[in-house]
Amino acid sequence: MTGLLDIRRVYVEPEAAVLPRGREVLARFPGAEVVEVESHHRIPQLYGDEANVARWVRIKTEALVLGVKKSLTARPNGRSADFIAPSTANGCAMACAYCYVPRRKGYSNPITVFANIDKIAGYLRRHAGRQGDKPEPDQVDPRLWVYDIGENSDCSVDAMISENVRDLVELFRDLPNAKASFATKYVNRDLLDWDPRGHTRIRFSLMPAADSKLLDIRTSPIAERIDAINDFVAAGYEVHVNLSPVVVRDGWLEDWAELLDRLDDSVSPEARAQLAAEVIFLTHNDRLHQVNLGWHPKAEEVLWQPELQQAKRSETGGWNVRYRNGHKGRYVTALTDLLAAKLPYCRIRYAF
């Protein structure tokens, strides 16, 4: 199943194991040890154990969690999407050094798959039905309500483990007033056969290759992501780009100019006609900083720059750091001006 995954142990909630999707997932890994757990949230072998820092990537490769999503809510968003859909998975097999998800789990975040996909899909169908037609265009979408289906995971990788993502793509394909959306750093060409008919937006995350090599651990190369854009547009997806996270360092703007030139040279007329971008500058966290020092300290040389950053207390009690007020505004302007000059056809949906 590629070098990303070599599942040897599946932690399973009993309720998930008996659901059709749970049985399908377990059948995909017949050689794996199955460990029954009371809750996918509380697995001492995975979460909250500082010793797991040294096994960060190994746990992502070898462990899988199978659970049931208890709380089904679609949270209003208004930035990248209109709503954040209930997760069908969380965690990730990739190991991006800036990822916010490990901050919540503590020391490890292998993929958790939720087996009650029927209830999640039913909830989304009813929720979209209650919205009716979108009353007016906005920066999220001019016509459809947009649901982010991958806030806490990467759907391209999730699709290698279960049919959950395909089920959602097919669900939204048939909803007249809504579309799905997810960001990805992985090119999974199996998705090209799913016939989304314009009702799924894929946002390929991009950054300069030098940054990606240091920070985007176990992801598809930037060139591969760019090269996939035309194929996904031709297959019926709406394709946007996330310029994210933007890391300020020596030579950063020159490297972004090179990336944008590469993107401009690659995208087809059809891709250009529908292209839009989200621009997101780095937000880091003191707890993730400490985790990274244990397994990937090189990344912290560019992610943790106190002279450029300011701290704000997070909802979970830690400290989030972002580029200082005033300075950040200049950085944002510099990059958005560059994007407008290099790709004048690419609408900037938002930048922060």
Tell me what pLDDT residue 129 has.
Answer: 98
Judged by DSSP in three states, 24 sits in: helix
Tell me what pLDDT residue 73 has.
Answer: 97
Tell me what pLDDT residue 292 has.
Answer: 87
Tell me what pLDDT residue 261 has.
Answer: 98
Tell me what pLDDT residue 226 has.
Answer: 98
Tell me what pLDDT residue 192 has.
Answer: 98
Tell me what pLDDT residue 56 has.
Answer: 78
Tell me what pLDDT residue 3 has.
Answer: 82
Six-digit token string for 246:
């933007």
Please classify residue 286 by burial: count the beta carbons closer than 10 Å to its beta carbon, then call 0-12 exposed, 13-18 middle and 19+ buried: middle
Q: Which of 67, 245, 55, 253 is nearest to 164 (CA)?
A: 67
pTM: 0.96
Tell me what pLDDT residue 338 has.
Answer: 98
Burial code (b: 16+ CB inside 10 Å, e: under 16) for 212-243 equals bebbbbbbbebeebbebbbbbbebbbbbbbbb
Tell me what pLDDT residue 42 has.
Answer: 85
CB atoms within 10 A of CB 137: 9
Tell me what pLDDT residue 51 has.
Answer: 61
Tell me what pLDDT residue 275 has.
Answer: 98
Question: Contact 239/275 with Cβ under 8 angstroms?
Answer: yes
In the predicted model, residues of the chain with pLDDT beneath 70 are 1-2, 48-52, 101-107, 316
Tell me what pLDDT residue 102 has.
Answer: 60
